[in-house]
Amino acid sequence: MIIPILIIGLIFRLISITQSLWLDEGINVVFARSLSYKTLIFNYSLGDFHPPLYHVLLKTWILIFGSSEISARMPSVILGLGVIFMAYKIGQKLYDTKTGLIASILTATGPLLIYYSQEARMYMLAAFFSSLSVYCFISILTKDKLLYWIGFISATVLMLYSDYLPYLLIPTYMLYLLIFRKRISSSTFKSFIPAFLLIFFFLLPWLFIFPQQLKGGLEVASASPAWSKVVGGTNFKDLALIFVKFSIGRISIDNNFIYTLLFLPVGLYITLLVFISILRISVIRSFLWFYFLIPIIFAFLLSFFVPVFAYFRLLFVLPALYIILASAINNLSWSLPSRILLFILLLINLTSATIYFTNPKFQREDWKSATRFVKENSTENSIVLFESTSSFAPFDYYNNGKVEAKGVLDSFNPTKNAVSQNVKSYTQNKDKVFLFQYLIQITDPQGLAFQSLVDNGFTNTKTDNFQGVGFVYEFIK
């Protein structure tokens, strides 16, 4: 039965996969295809606050299959299917095959997992190796076998080279082992000590680079407080948002009051299932709660020092929630009520996924259309300016060097004089300028670039708005 579920999961992950690459995807793809492995690991990684495994995987994939939108996203699609399978295996290991199948159905149709399985980013890589690590950890506790130890050490090391927040699974494992040490065989408990030391040994090479990466990330957050709020907030609203996004995906409504009212029935229903699942809890099954809650709590506390708390960074714990919900659905001995409970949860998933598929507002930034607009309306003497220190990667991806592009800012805190000088220099002998105001609220809230163009004799003759990218202004002199 898992095969049809994987096929369904694949179909959902292929729908709308050709939508435009957005900023972070564009950065990953452009640099992965242009940089050497050495530069990608030791130089590019210093400015990208993630471990290097995904970038190495993406570059290798691009070398073999090319860098089209579909190709660049296929590793995440495949890893997303791997997450579905691991949800099945964990549910089967802790409960039974039926619970595992229900968990895999929920994982296959989960709107947030569908979204990030279509993204050329490292989150599904981290989610897959996290779930594999958890499966091997649970397997060791139920049956101490060498194969499970090899799987646990390998999956955990690869998880740690995928993303940073999954590191929080290590203290989660340790906390569980300490609390239930009397319920675990002495030999198994003691064997985790060399296992964790071996994991640390394999991670050691990257730990020499991590301090430089952390320093760079903190400097960016300090130089641009607005940017640090984008990459991760630290308040109870963001904490509550985790459970909202896990339940209904990325869909949202600007009116918070209406948004809350619409989510309330969903939230109450999921809360009910969570309470029902407690009826089937045991020592080994309680690890699901550690797996789901401890990384979220630790990440929230960590975010007071490093801005990392965001729902998409915690995607690796979402399979735990689906397994918990699956155990609640399968807890009822009556067939009809179980089917009704599953139907309601699937209805929530499919409704949210359908809204995402059909409404461009909830899809990715439309750099494809914005770049096409520029290319179709440019002349030999045209230039594209960005409210940044350089052009943005997704524009470069779709532009292919056809239209000259520059960033007019000199730093995260630009001065009027510096912006004016850059605009004047870049627009010499130009009769048409396209100004992208992407991220202007963060990089140039005073609108210095727009004003500098006006001061240099350019007139705004046309303005277009593109989903996620924002306004693109066309200036003529």
Own/partner pairs, 374-380, CB within 8 angstroms, 24+ separation: 374/399, 374/403, 374/434, 374/472, 375/399, 375/402, 375/403, 377/432, 377/434, 377/462, 377/474, 378/402, 378/403, 378/432, 378/434, 379/431, 379/432
Q: Which residue has the higher pLDDT, 252 or 365?
A: 365
Regarding whether 373 and 336 lie in a shared domain, the answer is no
Q: Is the pLDDT of residue 80 over 80?
A: yes
Single-letter amino acid code for the residue at 367: W
Regarding whether 404 and 318 lie in a shared domain, the answer is no
Regarding whether 413 and 350 lie in a shared domain, the answer is no
Regarding whether 372 and 272 lie in a shared domain, the answer is no
Element (H, E) at 464: strand 459-466
Residue 476 is encoded by which pair of tokens? 């003529």
* Residue 413: band (very low, low, confident or very high) from pLDDT cuts 50, 70, 90: confident
Q: Is the pLDDT of residue 326 over 70?
A: yes
Residue 112 is encoded by which pair of tokens? 């947030």
The predicted pLDDT at position 236 comes to 77
Asked which of 14-18, 68-72, 265-269, 432-436 is least confident by mean pLDDT, the reply is: 265-269
The predicted pLDDT at position 224 comes to 58
Q: Is the pLDDT of residue 117 over 90?
A: yes
Single-letter amino acid code for the residue at 208: F
* Residue among 193, 136, 206, 138 at smallest CA distance from 167: 206
Residue 247 is encoded by which pair of tokens? 């339940």
The predicted pLDDT at position 232 comes to 59
The predicted pLDDT at position 146 comes to 94
Instruction: Give the helix ranges, DSSP H, for 180-209.
Output: 186-207
Asked which of 112-126, 129-143, 302-316 is least confident by mean pLDDT, the reply is: 302-316
From CA 92, how far away is CA 98, in angstroms rounded? 7
The predicted pLDDT at position 392 comes to 93
Q: Is the pLDDT of residue 332 over 80?
A: no
Q: Which residue has the higher pLDDT, 415 or 396?
A: 396
From CA 473, how far away is CA 423, in angstroms rounded? 15
Q: Note the maximum CA span of the chain.
A: 79
How confident is the model over 21-47, as a mean pLDDT? 90
* Residue 412: band (very low, low, confident or very high) from pLDDT cuts 50, 70, 90: confident
Regarding whether 70 and 33 lie in a shared domain, the answer is yes
How confident is the model over 174-189, as a mean pLDDT? 94
Domain end, chosen from 362, 397, 424, is at 362
The predicted pLDDT at position 411 comes to 77
Kindly report the pTM of this predicted structure.
0.92
From CA 59, how far away is CA 37, in angstroms rounded? 8
Give me the number of domains the chain comprises: 2
List Cα–Cα distances, 126 to 157, 357, 370, in angstroms: 11, 24, 31
Residue 460: strand pairing partners? 475
Domain end, chosen from 362, 380, 411, is at 362
Domain end, chosen from 362, 389, 412, is at 362
List Cα–Cα distances, 51 to 55, 169, 322, 333, 347, in angstroms: 8, 16, 27, 46, 37
Q: What percent of the chain has pLDDT over 70?
A: 95
How confident is the model over 426-441, as a mean pLDDT? 91
Q: Which residue has the higher pLDDT, 218 or 24?
A: 24
The predicted pLDDT at position 396 comes to 95
Regarding whether 375 and 350 lie in a shared domain, the answer is no
> Across the chain, what does the average pLDDT equal?
91
* Residue 219: band (very low, low, confident or very high) from pLDDT cuts 50, 70, 90: low
Check: CB of residue 188 under 8 Å from CB of residue 138. no
Give residue-wise pLDDT tens across range 334-380. Answer: 577 788 888 999 999 999 999 999 999 899 999 999 999 999 999 88
How confident is the model over 316-328, as a mean pLDDT? 96
From CA 220, how far away is CA 98, in angstroms rounded? 48
Give residue-wise pLDDT tens across range 295-315. Answer: 999 999 998 888 788 899 999
How confident is the model over 235-264, as a mean pLDDT? 84
Regarding whether 387 and 254 lie in a shared domain, the answer is no
List Cα–Cα distances, 70 to 77, 110, 250, 312, 366, in angstroms: 10, 21, 21, 21, 15
From CA 443, how far away is CA 454, in angstroms rounded? 19
From CA 310, how far away is CA 18, in angstroms rounded? 25
The predicted pLDDT at position 223 comes to 56
Boundaries of domain holding 383: 367-476
Task: Say what the alpha-carbon torsion angle 274, 131, 52, 442 is, to the nearest 10 degrees.
Answer: -10
* Residue 162: band (very low, low, confident or very high) from pLDDT cuts 50, 70, 90: very high
Place of tokens 């607009």: 373
The predicted pLDDT at position 174 comes to 97
The CATH number of the domain holding residue 400 is: 3.40.190
Regarding whether 343 and 452 lie in a shared domain, the answer is no
Regarding whether 464 and 340 lie in a shared domain, the answer is no
Give residue-wise pLDDT tens across range 84-95. Answer: 999 999 999 999
Q: Which residue has the higher pLDDT, 390 or 317?
A: 317
DSSP single-letter state for residue 64: H
Element (H, E) at 475: strand 470-476
Regarding whether 384 and 271 lie in a shared domain, the answer is no
The predicted pLDDT at position 227 comes to 55
List Cα–Cα distances, 452 to 92, 418, 447, 455, 462, in angstroms: 63, 10, 9, 5, 17
Q: Please provide residue 310's backbone torsions phi and psi, each rounded to the nearest 5 degrees.
A: -150, 145
Regarding whether 431 and 319 lie in a shared domain, the answer is no
The predicted pLDDT at position 280 comes to 80
Check: CB of residue 90 under 8 Å from CB of residue 99. no
Mapped to the 3 state alphabet, what secondary structure does 270-300 carry?
HHHHHHHHHHHCCCCCCHHHHHHHHHHHHHH
Regarding whether 313 and 241 lie in a shared domain, the answer is yes
Q: Is the pLDDT of residue 318 over 70?
A: yes
The predicted pLDDT at position 287 comes to 95
Buried b (16+ CB within 10 A) or exposed e, 54-84: bbbbbbebbeeeebebebbbbbbbebbbbbb
